[in-house]
Structure 1
């Protein structure tokens, strides 16, 4: 089975081609801010990004007609349980018109269009809108607000499954805390194969390189009504210009760590504060399973930092053994999900039929 994988990011699009489980082609297509600046919103980038993908494949000698399926990163849709889904028109409509404009939503739009042209099918696996919270975890503290439970489901579940496999266990047998650390940071508690509690990627959790995470509510209300910021400016303040960026003017943690190592006391303090907040959120997940945690997993781009992982290990190592899976396994996880469907090892879910499962 030859599977094309599409994974768009803010300023790049990762693509890969797999022959069954073997990845024989991978490329990161960079998009400059100037190229993207004239698009009014993310959805408008659809044709540009699609053509870039097609051109890259043709230049690499990969024939589109040889593809058997397309695996796409999940985007901003309505909440659904995890798993692999067939992409249909309803999903594309929901993602194109979702108020959350995220580049990941372009994958399904592009994949669905290419699949129709080629007479094959397109799928996505473990969308960031994956919602599996337990009933107790869904409570926010006010009747008017329900917790969203958005997290880095694709990579979190992939590393959790890899962790289990390497220990000759099944994912559904273990209780694991997975900490994904990138531009966004989410901590998820996986109880026997289900992410029953998570820190929401946009509105909760620790501060991240560019997101504010959970803030003191009353102070946030005062800031909203101060007259200094519009509605859209407030959202940008919290996501994009929050977190480490708000303190140091950069969201590149490599620069922050280099500055800290060079004697910049402010950079050191902010770095340690982020680690401190991450550790608190990891610790907060342990009571969900009465402390019966089989492992704590650190993953994502920031997990390449030996300083960050060492300091986190000191703070959370008492909970369970700490395992480190730096980077992301997104391309591999997407391809694996589709391959299981193609090999009839699992049945692809229907998006529309699963919308009520998380209400």
Structure 2
């Protein structure tokens, strides 16, 4: 039994055909720059990579190419369901949901909470519904995992009517990844996830940390939107809320322009003046570039602060997990972060940390340390598993 997993971005469509039981991936791909002349799709199947031009293609055009590839492999008839990553489900969705007209409308109602993400998710859903009219479609929400946050963690100290009437609260994101790596960490530690208090750090272009107690999220660094929390690739993370009013008065920028800059022109990119790519920043810092060095140092400092904050939420910490593109591949970031956390009981094994950049999950902590792990996330597999579960399908 195969599940087609779709992850739709503002101008991209990532897909994979996965066996929910084993995680085996039959084919995967990424369509980028949709709507532009340079639109293209990369396909990976059986160790072979192909690239196709889409020449200004839309989500629908990308889906047509996906269908053609599935037909060429004889897979279309074996796909039993489509699972979609949806960034924001608000307070309504605490679990995956079969997509009905009512569920799709509820996702639309969450657009004001995630204007950069949910419209793209909806476009991907509509393209898939047209391409696979006979298949069940399931929405798997990044916010759902964090619906177990206690009120003390999710409420802001703002007027009650903002919360009651407009849903102003902390939601948390990257929940699909945090849930997956918490389960994998428990397996690696040979302990039930229900017995563990873990801090999970998802570090990519977007970054967040989560406190996971007994397999349930009890706090997250992200809030109402994915802008709150850690320093990220192009997102600022935490800033003084008064910044908006101040900049509007002294610069003439609108609130929309300021928010856009905090999302797309800030973070590592702004601090370094070079790039949002951590690999390039580490190389530039090693060559003596001051902006790159500062960007990496601030990234690590705020990350260590975030991890320490999650320890407060947990009370007892049984392990720390690094995941995401930076978390899985940057030995420098991991080492510098753990160097700031000896008071939590973490000590680094330098050799293991260096080896972990090769994409292998494993421990990077010294024998006398609390466990610090690198776990390769697999959001597509998690979405496939959640899709199969909500549909009560029996994986083979």
TM-score, length-normalised on structure 1?
0.84
How far the C-alpha of 1:295 sits from its partner, in A, is: 1.1
Query: What are the superposed Cα offsets for residues 255-299 of structure 1, whole Å, 9 maximum, x if unpaired?
Result: 211111111122112211111011101101111122x01111111
Instruction: Give me the whole-angstrom Cα distance separating, in 2, the residues matched to 1:106 and 1:133.
Output: 29
1:205 maps to what in 2? 229
- Which residue among 223, 229, 241 is the counterpart of 2:247? 223
How far the C-alpha of 1:301 sits from its partner, in A, is: 0.9
Instruction: Give me the whole-angstrom Cα distance separating, in 2, the residues matched to 1:316 and 1:278.
Output: 11
For the pair 1:138 / 2:154, whether they are aligned, the reply is yes
Larger RCO, structure (CA 8 Å, separation 6 or more): 1
Within-5 A mapping of 1:1-359: 1-20=1-20, 21=22, 22-31=24-33, 34-35=36-37, 48-59=58-69, 61-62=72-73, 63-96=75-108, 98-99=111-112, 100-102=115-117, 103-115=120-132, 117=133, 119-128=134-143, 130-143=146-159, 144=162, 146-200=168-222, 202-249=226-273, 250-290=275-315, 292-303=316-327, 304-316=329-341, 318-319=343-344, 320-326=370-376, 328-343=377-392
> Cα RMSD between the aligned structures?
2.6
User: SS in structure 1 opposite 2:4?
Assistant: strand
Instruction: Give me the whole-angstrom Cα distance separating, in 1, the residues matched to 2:378 and 2:256.
Output: 33
Could you say if the C-alpha distance between residues 219 and 172 of structure 1 is closer, same or farther in structure 2, counting changes exceeding 3 Å? same
Query: What are the superposed Cα offsets for residues 306-356 of structure 1, whole Å, 9 maximum, x if unpaired?
Result: 111111122235434211124x3111111121233455579xxxxxxxxxx
How far the C-alpha of 1:209 sits from its partner, in A, is: 1.4
2:352 maps to what in 1? none
Specify every segment of 5 or more residues in structure 1 that has no aligned partner in the other structure, as ranges. 38-46, 347-359
How far the C-alpha of 1:25 sits from its partner, in A, is: 1.3
My pick for the range that moved more, 101-110 or 28-37, is: 28-37
Instruction: Give me the whole-angstrom Cα distance separating, in 2, the residues matched to 1:76 and 1:169.
Output: 31
User: SS in structure 2 opposite 1:34?
Assistant: coil
TM-score, length-normalised on structure 2?
0.76
My pick for the range that moved more, 150-159 or 217-226, is: 217-226
Query: What are the superposed Cα offsets for residues 40-59 of structure 1, whole Å, 9 maximum, x if unpaired?
Result: xxxxxxx9213312313313
